Structure 1
Amino acid sequence: MITIPLPSSSPLSNTISYSVSPLFEMAASLHTLAQPTPPERFNEWAQELLAQFQSARLIKDWEYFLPLFRYGIPDSFDPVHTKGVMAVDDQYEYFVTLPTESFIRSLEPVLEEWNRQHDIPNVVFDIQEDADYMKGRFSLFVSSYWQLFFEANWELIAPLFVREAEHIHDALHELPKCLCYLQEIKPEITYESETQVLVCPSQETNGGVQQLILYPSHFYAQKPSLTRKDLCAYLLYSFL
């Protein structure tokens, strides 16, 4: 489990915050698209998008990069790091300046999971042969996807994130309201009044952290995901 101190003497906003990134949300849409059977509410969207990929001659690139999104969202899209990355030029600059080693490292967990269940994909061989080439091809695909398809989606769903941010701010005014809000996302979360800590059950990570960062998402359609990085816990969830 993960424990997070919530002392009564300190504002909740000192410990709990949220982060939204258009680039991360774009990656979340690709994660949903990469599922063998997308959730029902995204079925029509997925079918239309794949047809548009065909028309735009991006379907082969998508099939090439699909293994990077089937089992997760690469850390290079982390909302905290990509919060201000919006326009195509911003995205291109972000990936160009991102060290290749860091980019490849962010792909390792999702590719390891893919390799456990499928044949090794071509993208892995290209990483081994010429990682810079593969990273450049990835950057071009992401930029094309944003410009041709996702930017219009983001303009439609951005107001939903504003509304979710308002809900979070409201919940952080008092502990009972905050706990109720968090339990709506992940019912197992509890608060120990004697020790003044938030307890978040997690099978994958254990220990105490100092911050909880919420990642609300429209396109992420899996169960809420709680991960730990250093002294922060990150809760990714769908707010629909």
Structure 2
Amino acid sequence: MARTTPHDPAAPRLAALASLLADETRASFCLALLDGRAWTAGELARSAGVAASTASEHLGKLVAGGLLAEERQGRHRYVRLADGRTAQLVEELAAHARPGARAPVRTLREAGLQQALARGRTCYDHLAGRLGVLVTDAMTGRGLLRQDTGFALTEDGLEWFAALSVPLGTASRRPLARGCLDWTERRPHLAGTSGAALCRHVLDAGWCERVGSGRAVRVTPVGLGAFSEHLGIEPADLTAS
């Protein structure tokens, strides 16, 4: 009689997780929620081009599976990614997906959106796209960030944040700095507590502004000067197509 291979108890949980993201609509919802904000079911339905009833069914599965968290304000129901670890999982899976497997661009609007996301976007709560990588490289080049033994802020980096009056919230259980693989640049950008703090600062200070209601961000005229002054990034690099 043939012996059976011992069953790994993690296998059913891994299969269940994979099945949640194996549906294109649910994957679309998770990618949209990488902007770090809470969305209504109707907003997600419109973004994915599905009926409200279809969206509700998929959202129920994502909430039950632990990938999304639900919030209610009065009669309104909102959902967001469950936490930073979930956002990291979604972003890294997107980074590992082969570019050739993506659906072809069908309209000028889709092409414009893809270009905007590639130039600059939020990845949950930190900067991503070409902008995120430019900032990460500039910080590394100036000795504010180390990447040789994993991501870590240097003493100069800590002083740089303090000079900008950007609190890092070092009591958080999240790592102060970690690398997040960028799915368009295929290189790491800065995440962790410091990445989130920097993203909040550039948006609050007006260095960047959101493009429409999605994840894309663009550098403002104020930001062109600020990124040049504080990180030595040339304005032409920030505005290149």
**TM-score interval for Structure 1 and Structure 2 normalised by the shorter chain:** 0.3 to 0.5
- What is the TM-score with the length of structure 1 in the denominator? 0.32
Q: Which has the higher contact order (CA 8 A, sep 6+)?
A: 1
Larger helix proportion of the pair? 1
